Amino acid sequence: MKLANEIFQDVKPETAAAVFQYLRDEQREVYKASISSLAANRKLRPVFVQRKPTPEQIDWLVKNAKLRGSVEIATQVLQLWLLKAHPALLTGFLDGLGIEHDGEGAADDIPDELDAKKLESTVNDLLKNHDPELVRIYLHIFQLQRPDGWEELTKLIETTPDLQFGDAEAAPAPALAEEVEKPATPKAKKAAVKEEIAGAAEEEVAEEEVAEEEVAEEEVAEEATEEEK
């Protein structure tokens, strides 16, 4: 079962960026809270991120949402993004299974077992009417509502390539294997993410120091202005 930070690792870069772009455009308080929480995880001040141009802010948020230590924040971000940006997907899933909800995709009473036939039919309809990657994200996030998810949904995911992340679709066999670079394994992919974050750490510390100096200078200037008044 995929955790939310792992989902950020596996989705298309443009999808991951779209999550935070939506929050910035439509849910500004949540966007600010995401910056504060992820910055705190790195022991940085929010101003370090806030002073970056928007594209760099979003790039930084995506990069840090991929970390294991950000799993709770990543979960909340994806849950809210799905709920606010894609309510038709959520309500379609819940209606198909006969689960009562608030009309916007939030349900409090989900049964312990899901009807396998209804589940398969509903998911097939969702895949026809929505971007498969979006359906994939939602179903994996839905699974996180229980420690081990729902057995019926687990089986459906395992037998449906469109619902799987990573190397779900087998690549065609190359004529000369030695001439083709092997695809990164999930373990190698995670290691690459960690290396990328670690490599940027020194740069972030230096940038934060500059940001703190600028803030200090602004505070001194404001105090001087107040004294002149």
Mean pLDDT by groups of 10 residues along the chain of 229 residues: 96 97 97 97 95 97 97 97 97 96 90 96 97 98 95 97 71 34 53 56 53 51 53
Q: What is the pTM of this model?
A: 0.76
How far is the C-alpha of 189 from the C-alpha of 25, rounded, in Å? 30
How far is the C-alpha of 134 from the C-alpha of 22, rounded, in Å? 14
pLDDT at residue 169 in the model: 37
Exposed / middle / buried, residue 223 (Cβ in 10 Å: 0-12, 13-18, 19+): exposed
pLDDT at residue 179 in the model: 32
| SS3 letters across 108-137 | CCCCCCCCHHHHHHHHHHHHHHCCHHHHHH
pLDDT at residue 108 in the model: 85
Q: How far is CA 217 from the centre of its chain?
A: 36
pLDDT at residue 140 in the model: 98
pLDDT at residue 196 in the model: 56
How far is the C-alpha of 62 from the C-alpha of 13, rounded, in Å? 9
Q: How far is CA 202 from CA 42, 110, 198, 209, 216, in A?
A: 12, 46, 8, 11, 21
pLDDT at residue 175 in the model: 35
Cα-based torsion angle of the residue sequence 165, 170, 176, 177 in order, rounded to the nearest 10 degrees: 50
